[in-house]
Homo-oligomer: A and B are copies of this chain.
Amino acid sequence: MARPRKFDERQVLDAARERFWSGGYAATRMEDIAEATGLGKGSLYGAFGGKQALFHRVFDDYCGSVVEAVSRQLCGNDEDAYARLSAHVYAVAAATAADTAHRGCLLAKGAAELAEHDETVAGRARAAIEALQALLESDIAACQRNGDIAADTDPGRLAALVLAVLRGIEALGKAGASEETLTDIARTALAVLPRPAH
């Protein structure tokens, strides 16, 4: 009936994410995104509404995909729960160190720039953080059931601590800490988690 879209929405969102991620919200121009995708500005506005709406869409997608990725890394049986936790913590350190451009995480960057004045961004960031904490808590509880972590500590508190360490690794990576430092932090954090008495 009507003229079909020539572009793939997914690709446009990916390109937009790339731009917002490296430049930040304020410093990214809609024209940058238009050029990056080959679209005209009219199409961009027609499809997504405007700069803020586009960012919200990108931010939502990003938060969702982060939570989903962590969920895949942390869900499983009790026997491997500690191995999954350990792998996840090291993976965050490695990924942060590998991010030589020091862009950090879009979740952190977007929240830092906009959360104070944009309730939508703030709410979405809060929800993502809570989801991550819940995933960690459930994995840590599994570790406790399997005897890999002392059962006398509240798993929620340990999860909050681990989450803080992970976000801290991000932050230090952005400030230029070396891969060695970040890996050391990951190792030390895992090492200080309370082990059950034998």
Chain A residues within 8 Å of B, Cβ to Cβ: 22-24, 26-27, 101-104, 108-109, 111-113, 115-117, 122, 125-126, 128-129, 153, 157-158, 160-161, 163-172, 174-177, 181, 184-185, 187-189, 192-194
Contacts and interface: CB of A to CB of B under 8 A. Distances in A.
15 contacts: A101-B116, A104-B112, A115-B174, A122-B176, A125-B175, A128-B175, A157-B184, A157-B188, A161-B189, A164-B165, A164-B168, A164-B169, A167-B167, A170-B171, A192-B192
Contacts of A176: 115, 122, 125-126, 129
A112 B115 contact: no
Secondary structure of the A contact surface, majority rule: helix
Nearest to A24: B113
Copies of this chain assembled into the complex: 2
A134 to B, nearest CB: 13
A163 B172 contact: yes
Given A164-B172, A174-B112, A158 B188 contact: yes
A129 B176 CA distance: 9
Contacts of A109: 112-113
Nearest to A123: B176
Nearest to A125: B175
Nearest to A176: B126
A169 B184 CA distance: 19
